[in-house]
Amino acid sequence: MGKIISISNQKGGVGKTTTAVNLAASLAAAEKRTLLIDIDPQGNACSGVGVEKDQLKNTIYNVIIGEIDIFDAVKKTDLAYLDLVPSNSHLTGAELELVSASSRERKLKTALDKVLPDYDYIIIDSPPSLGLLTVNALTAAASVIVPLQCEFYAMEGLAKIIKTIELIKESLNPDIYIEGILLTMFDRRNNLSFQVAKEVRSHFNGQVFDSVIPRNVRLSESPSHGKPVLLYDIASKGATSYLDLAKEIMGRSH
């Protein structure tokens, strides 16, 4: 059976989609059957793997509201071992439509249970908010990766997402755990990056990944070319850092 990992932090701009796309691509490059779920209405994970989101008929929205089976929404990507369930702006409506639905927090879990035997890893790109879509992602996941930007306000956002995970654990998903906190946008020329990293590692001893994602031009450029960074520039620091992260995750027992 595969493992479902949600990439979550209700703070925007911390590298959630970058992490979802490039971790999924790195796992696929290691020949792990990987499914990337875009559950953010912005649909940026689709762009990150070169899928044109606006013309799509079958998306995660249609799956969640029960119109189609999840198998009908799976799309191939340029990487042999990486599939995608796309999203687009229609998903914005799902939050409202789910409010009155029964078992509304479990819609994504119910859908993913069907495809779980077909994949080694399912990576969910969550929206930067704490609505029903994020709750669905956390209810479906075995574990959570929390991307954390190396900047002054990082710790504030971290406390919020950890509290959210605890609430989900109490009420909806007792087995969920934090896979790790991932330091992103690390700038070696900036003293603050080192201070934040040190503080996070001392506060959350053993819960922070060894792999650190640097600020990297190639990593920023790759989505505009519709490619994960390892297909855009495999020699870049951005690509090697996500390959390291994938190795770290694969090296752990489930």
pLDDT for res 93: 85
SS3 248: helix
Helical segments of the chain, H only: 16-29, 44-48, 60-64, 92-98, 107-115, 132-140, 154-171, 191-203, 217-221, 229-232, 237-250
Question: How high is the pLDDT of residue 94?
Answer: 85
pLDDT for res 253: 60
Could you tell me the CATH superfamily of domain 3-246?
A: P-loop containing nucleotide triphosphate hydrolases (3.40.50.300)
How, if at all, do strands 75-76 and 82-85 pair? Answer: antiparallel
Q: Which helix (H) or strand (E) holds 123?
A: strand 121-125
Q: What is the predicted pLDDT for the residue at 12? A: 83
DSSP state, 38? E
How far CA 158 is from CA of 19, 114, 185, in Å, comes to 16, 32, 15
Provide the CB-side half-sphere exposure for 135 (13 A, CA): 17
Quote the pLDDT of residue 96.
Answer: 84
Length of the chain: 254
Tokens linked to 179 = 């896979």
Give the global pTM.
0.96
Q: Provide the pLDDT for residue 254.
A: 52
Amino acid identity, position 30: A
What is each CA distance from 184 to 19, 23, 25, 76, 219, in whole angstroms?
9, 13, 17, 28, 11
pLDDT for residue 95: 82
Average confidence (pLDDT) per 10 residues, the chain, 254 residues: 93 91 98 97 94 89 94 96 95 86 93 96 93 95 96 83 94 96 94 92 93 94 94 95 97 72
